[in-house]
Structure 1
Amino acid sequence: MAIAYRQRIDDDTEFALWKIEEEADDLYKQLKLDDDEKAYVEKLSNGKRHLHWLGTRVLLRKMLLTDEYIDCKVDAHGKPYLVNLPYHISLSHSFDYAAVMISKTHKVGIDIEQVKQKVERIAGKFMRPDELAFIDPKHKIEQLYVCWCAKEAVYKCNGEKEVSFADNIFLEAFSFDAPGQLNAHLHKKEVSLHYNVGYLQYEDYMIGYVKGSI
């Protein structure tokens, strides 16, 4: 499968989606991995987690237009980064899709989620009362997913652990209109950051994406 969707944010920043229709072996053949990565892949069970890991790496290679080895590591906070290429990256996946966002100049964050009714049951865990108050009943499920994806994208862009979606990431009121944008703020101790988050619905998936500070 080729890239299913691609969107350029600016001259140095873009994201793309890959629909995972291949078998694991077909994805594996498209990658160059070091011994540690090969050992990690071998430990993954042959399920969605396996396909997601492979799919995000294949998509990353396609977006960077390289057949060379990509040294992609994960830092102490779980944020992926590239050792040998001058890009900030963010990876996400959900069911049949992998998502990757890259930028030469800015930190980035992306999240993709399949839209399901269950989000309503857990909304109180990641939303504050004033945020729940601006949810439009006509688009409740979709707008809740926008909020989740926005907070997850901000969390990934910031790249620090121990950040609470409810207590540290705040969303300004917005009307659901996919594609659309909303304002988000991250406050924790001395850290205070503002983000403009983009979102869109692709098939039955919601995507939130954000470009952070340089």
Structure 2
Amino acid sequence: MPIVYNKKINGDSTLAIWKIEETEEELLNGLQLKQHELDLISSFNNGKRLLHWLSTRLLLRTMLATADYIDCKFDEHGKPFLANFDYEISLSHSYDYAAVMISKSCAVGVDIELIKHKIKTIKHKFLSDLELAQKQIGDNIDGLYVCWCAKEAIYKWYGKKGLEFRQHIHIKPFKLKKEGSLTAVVELPTGFKELTVNYFKTADNYMVGYVSAAH
């Protein structure tokens, strides 16, 4: 199980990324699954979806350093949570990678995406005109993916439905780097909240964004 990235963040938050090179059988052998989980994965109709599901669970098990059964469930908003471990978690995957973020003290959100040119065709769906006017975003593929991953990470961090990328999450001007951070202002039902989102681009053309903060 090649973990290609493992970083401590904010004291007790950890982000890890794993390159998926194992077969379904190898991944299954590292997990303790109950019947409802076996029924779920048997319903997956493509191999990559199954590999993503298994790899995020095995990475989670590795990060928690436990041989015990991990009861990973989803709440009514679709946010994953652990029923039998006192951690906040966030899961993401894209093509050959799985990413997991955990924390004992605050909410977390992570997103990993393979960079593709087609993001230009949907940029107006998740970015405001004000954001698109920023020179580091505009038609810059990397800039667009930084913003997408940042907003997706914030959406997962919040963990409730109703948060719209274009309407409720606003990216402040930032300096685009291969690894850096940006500030986003989020319009929540309880008021405005400013968040710092970290991001980095991998050598093989993936973008990762992550956030760790109290609600």
Where does residue 213 of structure 2 map in the other structure? Answer: 212
What is aligned with 1:120? 120
> Where do 1:119-198 residues align within 5 Å?
119-136=119-136, 140-198=140-198
> For the residues of structure 1 that align with 2:135 and 2:35, how far apart are their CA atoms?
48
Alpha-carbon deviation of 1:162?
A: 1.9
**C-alpha distance in 2, partners of 1:17/1:74?**
21
The percentage of counterpart residues that share the same residue type is 47
User: For residues 152-196 of structure 1, what are the alpha-carbon distances to aligned partners after superposition, in whole Å with 9 as ceiling and x for unaligned?
Assistant: 000000001121100011111111012100011211444422210
- Structure 1's unaligned 5+ residue stretches are none
Q: 1:162 to 1:137 in 2, by over 3 A?
A: closer
CA offsets 1:112-165 (integer angstroms, 9 cap, x no match): 000111111111100001101113379810010000000000000000112110
Separation in 2, partners of 1:139, 1:87: 38
Unaligned runs of 5+ in 2: none
* TM-score, with structure 1 as normaliser: 0.96
Q: 2 CA distance for matches of 1:129 and 1:195?
A: 21
The answer on whether the counterparts of 1:139 and 1:176 sit within 8 Å (CA) in structure 2 is no
Q: What root-mean-square deviation, in Å, do the aligned CA atoms of Structure 1 and Structure 2 show? A: 1.5
Segments ≥4 residues shifted beyond 4 Å: none
Aligned ranges 1:80-95 → 2 under 5 Å = 80-95=80-95
CA contact (8 A) 1:135 1:144 kept: no
Query: d(CA) in 2 for partners of 1:123 and 1:27?
Result: 36
Query: Which piece of structure 1 moves more, 13-22 or 136-145?
Result: 136-145
- Aligned pairs, number: 214
Match of 2:66 in 1: 66
Match of 1:118, SS state, is: helix
SS of corresponding position for 2:140 = helix
CA distance in 2 between partners of 1:96 and 1:39 (Å): 24
Normalising by the residue count of structure 2, what TM-score does the alignment of the two structures yield? Answer: 0.95
